[in-house]
């Protein structure tokens, strides 16, 4: 371990930061280090957002058997000899830039009757709250912007404030569609907040820590040298991970839970009266929220920045974090391309009748896991798997009684 701890690439970001700030006197040094962390998060996740919009459109295009955006190039790239064959289009890589310029130059329309202050504050608050959640995610060994004792609690406290922004947007627009859609969005956000929070409680129970750094440290060893100690590989952890991801989809208003926006059915929900860059801020907040929740899922269940196998530790920790994060984000995009949108009642049933009871069972399951530490691992694993799979099947069967499995009478 010590060899990998001191490797040049592993410590490179911290070394770079220290080299830039060490000449400053003590209080300024601390301030500069904080500022550098903020700028780094803004730059990295800002550009990730830009790239993600392009990747999403490309991936959705491929799933639907069309090329996706492939025309917008970047100027002067056609002159580079090794890019000549793309004729300056470079696979549509210039699309995020074009989108950004379009959003910035669009007219900002505020309805005359709207509540000017709230209409303005809503997108700003939304983006600020999504950005604040990045402060406690450990992106790598020693790479956490703020180390708090209760960082998991901080993450969800900052995330809870986005509901207020949605309300402000819906109410401040003074538009009946926006208000009604905001109410629906709030109902969804509140309903899925519960399974989201309950699903990570087992992790806190087993790791014995509310700090993200502590939770990652608790997952950084291997059974018999090759099975990682990640919580997703335990029965309760696997169930918790799935519930967390479903709730994260709903919390970030992503398909199949994109009812608040539902661009093909409603106008645009609480975003109806937003145009130009304010709309772009909401859009950005959605993607950043999705990224932050994925980062939290990686931290809580997928071992954070830990390598999957001991001999792979020569690869820097932040690379592993990025790989896991991008995998989850691609999963989000894949789900958007695959699943149809839920109906409002189905949405509520899924949360209150299925996910919340399963979360509570999972809590009891974690207690069993914790108390049976003396049993052999295989027995313990099977016991806990039965405790969570049985209610999953029973509740699932009773909820879909008379509806599933679907029979096709005419389409054969």
Separation CA 246–CA 65 (nearest Å): 27
Nearer to other proteins, 72 or 209 (CB): 209
- By rule CB under 8 A, what string of x and - marks binding of each residue 252-291 to other proteins? ----------------------------------------
- Residue 86, CA atoms < 13 Å, CB-side half-sphere: 21
Separation CA 120–CA 99 (nearest Å): 22
Q: For the segment 137-196, give every residue that binds other proteins (CB under 8 A).
A: 148-150, 153-154, 156-158, 160-161, 163-164, 167-168, 171, 183, 186, 190, 193
Nearest to 97 by CA among 53, 38, 35: 53
Nearer to other proteins, 136 or 259 (CB): 136
Place of tokens 């208003």: 253
Q: Under rule CB under 8 A, how many of the chain's residues touch other proteins? A: 24
- Sole binder of other proteins in the list 175, 209, 294, 306 (CB under 8 A): 209
Name residue 222's beta-bridge partners: 228
- Residues with Cβ within 8 Å of 226's Cβ and at least 6 positions away in sequence, in order, are 309, 310
As measured in angstroms, the least distance from the Cβ of 69 to other proteins is: 37
Nearer to other proteins, 158 or 198 (CB): 158
Cα 275 to chain centroid distance, Å, stands at: 25
- Considering only the stretches 50-58, 203-211, 339-347, 396-404, report the one whose residues sit in contact with other proteins under the rule CB under 8 A: 203-211
- By rule CB under 8 A, what string of x and - marks binding of each residue 210-249 to other proteins? xx--------------------------------------
Nearer to other proteins, 42 or 150 (CB): 150
**Distances from the Cα of 83 to the Cα of 51, 62, 73, 322, angstroms:** 20, 23, 11, 27
Separation CA 21–CA 43 (nearest Å): 19
Nearest to 253 by CA among 218, 216, 285, 205: 285
As measured in angstroms, the least distance from the Cβ of 55 to other proteins is: 31
- Per DSSP, the three-state class of 217 is helix
Nearer to other proteins, 48 or 198 (CB): 198
Cα 83 to chain centroid distance, Å, stands at: 34
Examine residue 208 and tell whether it contacts other proteins (CB under 8 A): yes
Q: For the segment 60-119, give every residue that binds other proteins (CB under 8 A).
A: 118
Given the rule CB under 8 A, which residues bind other proteins? 118, 148-150, 153-154, 156-158, 160-161, 163-164, 167-168, 171, 183, 186, 190, 193, 208-211
């Amino acid at each position: 371990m010590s060899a990998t701890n001191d490797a040049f690439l592993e410590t490179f970001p911290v070394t770079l930061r220290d080299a830039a700030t060490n000449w400053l006197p003590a209080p300024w040094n601390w301030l500069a280090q904080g500022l550098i962390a903020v700028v780094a998060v803004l730059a990295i996740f800002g550009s990730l957002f830009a790239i993600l919009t392009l990747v999403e459109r490309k991936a959705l295009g491929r799933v639907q058997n069309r090329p996706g955006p492939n025309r917008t190039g970047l100027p002067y790239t056609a002159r580079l000899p090794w890019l000549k064959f793309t004729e300056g289009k470079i696979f549509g890589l210039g699309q995020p830039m074009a989108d950004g310029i379009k959003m910035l130059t669009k007219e900002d329309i505020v309805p005359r009757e709207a509540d000017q202050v709230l209409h303005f504050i809503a997108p700003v608050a939304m983006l600020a709250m999504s950005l604040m959640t990045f402060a406690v995610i450990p992106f790598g060994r020693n790479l956490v912007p703020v180390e708090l004792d209760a960082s998991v609690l901080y993450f969800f406290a900052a995330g809870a404030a986005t509901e207020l922004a949605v309300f402000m947007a819906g109410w401040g627009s003074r538009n009946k569609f926006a208000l009604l859609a905001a109410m629906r969005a709030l109902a969804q956000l509140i309903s899925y907040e519960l399974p989201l929070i309950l699903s990570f409680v087992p992790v806190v129970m087993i790791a014995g820590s509310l700090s993200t750094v502590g939770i990652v440290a608790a997952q950084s060893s291997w059974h018999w040298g090759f099975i990682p100690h990640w919580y997703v590989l335990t029965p309760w952890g696997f169930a918790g991970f799935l519930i967390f991801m479903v709730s994260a989809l709903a919390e970030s208003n992503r398909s199949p839970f994109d009812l608040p926006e539902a661009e093909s059915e409603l106008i645009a929900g609480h975003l109806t009266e937003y145009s130009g860059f304010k709309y772009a801020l909401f859009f950005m907040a959605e993607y950043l929220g999705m990224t932050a929740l994925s980062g939290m899922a990686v931290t809580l269940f997928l071992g954070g920045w830990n390598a999957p196998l001991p001999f792979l530790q020569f690869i820097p920790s932040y690379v592993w974090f990025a790989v896991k994060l991008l995998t989850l984000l691609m999963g989000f995009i894949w789900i958007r391309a695959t699943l149809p949108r839920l109906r409002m009642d189905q949405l509520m049933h899924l949360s209150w009748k299925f996910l919340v009871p399963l979360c509570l069972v999972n809590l009891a399951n974690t207690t069993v896991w914790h108390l049976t530490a003396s049993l052999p691992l295989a027995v313990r694993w099977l016991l806990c798997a039965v405790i969570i799979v049985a209610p999953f099947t029973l509740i699932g069967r009773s909820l879909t009684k008379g509806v599933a499995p679907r029979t096709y009478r005419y389409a054969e």
